A and B are shown apart, each in its own frame.
Chain A
Amino acid sequence: DAGITQSPRHKVTETGTPVTLRCHQTENHRYMYWYRQDPGHGLRLIHYSYGVKDTDKGEVSDGYSVSRSKTEDFLLTLESATSSQTSVYFCAISESEEGYEQYFGPGTRLTVT
């Protein structure tokens, strides 16, 4: 299994509070991704990174920001959590963007009350 962890695994927070989720990899892969998964929807890309301090927006980036100061860590921040951000968040890593599979972390279940 690829060495990829996420923390926390579960979190309950209140509307309006900031929340940071962490993704940590030990594979030294260049590409890292944050997705959210909701019932009835496919995985949706929030943000991705193609190197240290190199990030870009995905399909559903509003209300989220990211940072990558080290190869192994990719942080996702919900600046002011809303109930619509209740979801399961997956981090994924990939050696390259073309022709390589993405390996997923175990996920973080976030509930915003």
Chain B
Amino acid sequence: GQNIDQPTEMTATEGAIVQINCTYQTSGFNGLFWYQQHAGEAPTFLSYNVLDGLEEKGRFSSFLSRSKGYSYLLLKELQMKDSASYLCAVMDSNYQLIWGAGTKLIIKP
């Protein structure tokens, strides 16, 4: 079966750095996406990785290792507004997104 695993909840301090991990087992791979979802709102796109390595976009970076079925989202200089759920999703061989259950990130002052 297809499976995406990510921690249910993480806590971090304002101004610090946090890494959210995602491991996957899917039938085929056509890219990995990270989305942010604030409570009661729609998911919004953060990043896309299809090749191994690190993609940096401002305070957010995303890493992919296809051989290990592993990705992480790195958030630097955390701000209170970063409190949200972070969703990992893999596009399978049928070009359908398989979603993890999301990681709820709590930022403390």
Contact = CB atoms under 8 A, between A and B. Distances in A.
A42 B33 contact: no
Contacts, number: 46
Given A42-B4, A42-B87, A43-B43, A98 B30 contact: yes
A97 B89 CA distance: 14
Give the contact-size bracket for chain B.
Answer: 20 to 34
Nearest to B30: A98
A101 interface: yes
B43 to A, nearest CB: 5
A8 to B, nearest CB: 15
B50 A104 contact: no
Nearest to B6: A42
Contact of B87 (A43, A45, A99, A101): A43
Contact of A58 (B4, B44, B96): B96
**Candidate in B91, B95, B98 with the most chain A CB atoms within 10 angstroms:** B95
B42 A105 contact: yes
A102 interface: yes
21 contacts: A40-B101, A42-B89, A42-B100, A43-B89, A43-B99, A44-B99, A58-B96, A59-B96, A90-B43, A98-B30, A98-B31, A98-B95, A99-B50, A101-B33, A101-B48, A102-B97, A104-B42, A104-B43, A104-B44, A105-B42, A106-B42
